[in-house]
Amino acid sequence: MKTLFNSGHTACAGCGQSMAARLVIDAAGSNTIVCNNTGCLEVFSTKFPESSWGVPFMHSLFENCAAVASGVESALKYLGKADTVNVIAQAGDGGTADIGLQALSGMLERGHNILYVCYDNEAYMNTGIQRSGLTPFDTNTTTSPIGVNSTGNIRPKKPMPEIANAHGIPYVATASCAFPLDIQRKVKKAISIKGPKYMQIHVPCPLGWRHESSQTIAVAKLAVETGLYPLIEYENGVLAAKRQITPKPVEEYLKAQGRFKHLLKNPEEIKKIQEIADNNIKKYGLKVETQQAA
Amino acid sequence: MKEFLEGSMAVAKVVQLCKPGVISAYPITPQTHIVEELAQIVADGHLNAQFVNVESEHSAASVVLGAEAAGVRSYTATSSQGLLLMAEVVFNIAGMRLPVVMTTAVRAISAPINIWNDHQDAVSLRDAGWIQLHAEDIQEAVDLHLIAYKLGENKSIMLPVMVCMDGFLLTHGVETVNIPSQEEVDKFLPPYKAPYKLDVENPMTLGPLVDPESYMEARFALNETHKEALQLIPKITADFAKIFGRTYNGLIEGYQLKDAERVIVAMGSVCGTIKEVIDELRKKGKKIGLLKVTSLRPFPANEIYEALKNTPKVAVVDRALSVGSFAPLAAEIKASFFGKTKKPKVISSFILGLGGRDITKDSIKEILRLMTSKERQGEFIDLKQELLKENYENAV
């Protein structure tokens, strides 16, 4: 299959991010420039002297891809090519929600014609599974370890799609590598819209989440089906679409992964996580039965 | 054309003449007048450029990095804390071999917070891989920007260049300045054609992960390029003189060196004060001179050696510290004579003018008085002894 993200890179078996990155760039097409933060993706796809990328690709630093992409897009405007070349800025969850949030906010606020893609594997995987602002509540990571006084990460995920949406940008979407065609549809839609766009794609990390590498898609699908990872689209600030589900209990998602193993004998904590899912289901109207006709 | 201009206005005008396609900056005193004026120039349609207002210096540097990587000449300016905040990107730009030009309105570093001039910001980033040029006056600041683009964009160099001008003293000072014509600038500085760039017609990966197999070679190449720049700078300043009629060496400049028994080495606007003192004392028969260091990076060690090898007494003026060690410029001047048979008998080191403390003619005369056969090591001039006696235990 012809792709703009070639195989032969060094991602782990079952890496959700490598799948999603390929889906994104193939949907965006060859007329695209990619600016990438430091992280797994840049490390496993560009080890000198090889590169997986069939498009112009630049990695600068951990937190500045949104600003670097702003510079690239400004240069394209100066050259009169802004309407013919797509610019994608992309990063992991730490590079987006933590260290890169300021640069991202600046990019969104300035109105650059850039698609920003956050590959959300819910921790700093490249450095060895440290918690980030997008690590879920009660996750066991190397810096939010379980112990006598700890059931894991103390805070829920930072609401990045809402934060992006609050900038008044034309398009915000979440996606999951369990739904490849949905990713590609959203990327194509995003690049057809002028202005800043934010996409956040749920990408399991078998190493960090501790599931079999063959289970990446199944685990990602459960996150959506339990309501823990709502698939939504905001257009011009309004919730325009959502993937409807018949919600499964969160235990089904939790028990599939080593990072939540400590919770399985702790109904109190599972209840709290079920509440997070229930709130998502209510907030976005995810449940099939409660849907009004579209 | 000769104009009576504030330094910042003069720099904005010369940057306009260099025609950058992307300008990005974040406000910090005393850099602001430069970028305000450029914003107005763009708003008035006198320059076709994208002016990108960013949320931090880190992003300002990242924007010009991205613009240069897309093959477009770009410009930014900063100062002090701003330069430190962008430090990570500053190193990255040099390693990525992108010929950004940046003005640093050279200023002190916090704490204590202080908005006035010394050299601590720029000097602290001397190892970032940028070519770093220091201006003595507004005219030189203007001219160094032209030289900076010409030098950085040279295919054998491809390095960013920082033009340092003393905060307030030069950015807010007013002098008669010769602003070149667009025709002259176009003759000297042709449009930028990037040898490599982000281009959908010819995709390449920039900024890859480089492991121990190749990293050393990339850093070696960066270091070698600075050696090439040492050779190229005088050639570029010679070309500059042909078109603009002003002569610079670009690396170092001597003033009354020929028979000088005592020579002060310095960077930036303090050189003007030193020259005044020299003129005054030469009339009284004192054989004193000045060696101005224009290029801190690349460091012209051989040129400095040649200029001072027969000078009996040398004093180095530092307006920055390398806390816990020798003063930064003094250490490098001394290193230039290491292992040589011909060298000054005494190289003394003085610290002055930190955080905007005025450097007067008397400050310079004090240095001259202390240029005896006894070597002085990092001696502070114009210290207020009464303030040093204060003790926090007595604070209310």
> How many other CB atoms are found less than 10 A from the CB of residue A254?
24
Task: Look at A65-79, B179-193, B268-282, B376-390 and tell me which has the smallest mean pLDDT.
Answer: B376-390
Q: Chain B: nearest CA to A4, how far in angstroms? A: 11
- All residues of chain A having their beta carbon less than 8 Å from the beta carbon of residue B21 are 75, 78-79
Q: Bridge partners of A232?
A: A242
Size of interface A-B (CB pairs under 8 A): 161
Mean pLDDT of chain B: 97
Helix A65-79 crosses helix A101-110 at what angle (to 10 degrees)?
A: 30
For B2-244, CATH gives 3.40.50.970
Asked if the Cβ–Cβ distance from B59 to A64 is below 8 Å, we say yes
* Rounded percentage of chain B residues whose pLDDT exceeds 90: 97
> How many other CB atoms are found less than 10 A from the CB of residue B184?
15
Q: What is the pLDDT of residues B345-395, one digit of tens each?
A: 999 999 999 999 999 999 999 999 999 999 999 999 999 999 998 777 766
Residues B252-385, CATH architecture: 3-Layer(aba) Sandwich (3.40)
pLDDT at B101: 98
Q: Give residue limits of the domains in chain B.
A: 2-244, 252-385
pLDDT at A292: 54
Asked if the Cβ–Cβ distance from A59 to B58 is below 8 Å, we say no
Best of B209, B213, B214 to disrupt the A interface (most A CBs within 10 Å) is B209
Q: Chain A: nearest CA to B145, how far in angstroms? A: 21
- β-pair type (B22-25, A238-242): unpaired
* Rounded percentage of chain B residues whose pLDDT exceeds 70: 98
- All residues of chain B having their beta carbon less than 8 Å from the beta carbon of residue A54 are 203
Asked if the Cβ–Cβ distance from B21 to A71 is below 8 Å, we say no
pLDDT at B343: 98
Residues A16-290, CATH architecture: 3-Layer(aba) Sandwich (3.40)
Tens place of pLDDT per residue across chain A (294 aa): 689 999 999 999 999 999 999 999 999 999 999 999 999 999 999 999 999 999 999 999 999 999 999 999 999 999 999 999 999 999 999 999 999 999 999 999 999 999 999 999 999 999 999 999 999 999 999 999 999 999 999 999 999 999 999 999 999 999 999 999 999 999 999 999 999 999 999 999 999 999 999 999 999 999 999 999 999 999 999 999 999 999 999 999 999 999 999 999 999 999 999 999 999 999 999 999 744 544
Asked if the Cβ–Cβ distance from B210 to A48 is below 8 Å, we say yes
Q: What is the pLDDT of residues B96-118, one digit of tens each?
A: 999 999 999 999 999 999 999 99
- All residues of chain B having their beta carbon less than 8 Å from the beta carbon of residue A47 are 208-209, 211
**What's CA A2's distance to the chain center, in Å?**
24
- Residue range B216-236: mean pLDDT, rounded: 98
DSSP tag of A245: B
Asked if the Cβ–Cβ distance from A103 to B89 is below 8 Å, we say no
Q: Chain A: nearest CA to B129, how far in angstroms? A: 16
Residues on chain A bordering chain B, Cβ-to-Cβ distance under 8 angstroms: 30-33, 35, 42-43, 46-49, 51, 53-61, 63-64, 66-79, 85, 102-103, 105-106, 109-110
Asked if the Cβ–Cβ distance from A110 to B53 is below 8 Å, we say yes
pLDDT at A230: 98
- All residues of chain B having their beta carbon less than 8 Å from the beta carbon of residue A42 are 207, 209
Contacts of B192 (CB under 8 A, 6+ apart): B71, B72, B73, B99, B149, B153
Facing B88 at nearest CB: one of A49, A61, A106: A61
pTM: 0.97
- All residues of chain B having their beta carbon less than 8 Å from the beta carbon of residue A30 are 200, 203
Q: Chain B: nearest CA to A136, how far in angstroms? A: 29
**Among candidate residues B231, B315, B239, B240, the one with its CA nearest the CA of residue B274:** B315
Structure tokens that stand for B264 in this block: 């002060």
Q: What is the pLDDT of residues B291-348, one digit of tens each?
A: 999 999 999 999 999 999 999 999 999 999 999 999 999 999 999 999 999 999 999 9
Model confidence at B225: pLDDT above 90: yes
pLDDT at A294: 46
- All residues of chain A having their beta carbon less than 8 Å from the beta carbon of residue B63 are 67-68, 70-71, 74
Instruction: Using pLDDT thresholds of 50, 70 and 90, give the confidence band for residue B215.
Output: very high
pLDDT at B394: 64
Residue pair B66/B104 in contact by the 8 Å Cβ criterion: no
Facing B56 at nearest CB: one of A69, A102, A109: A102
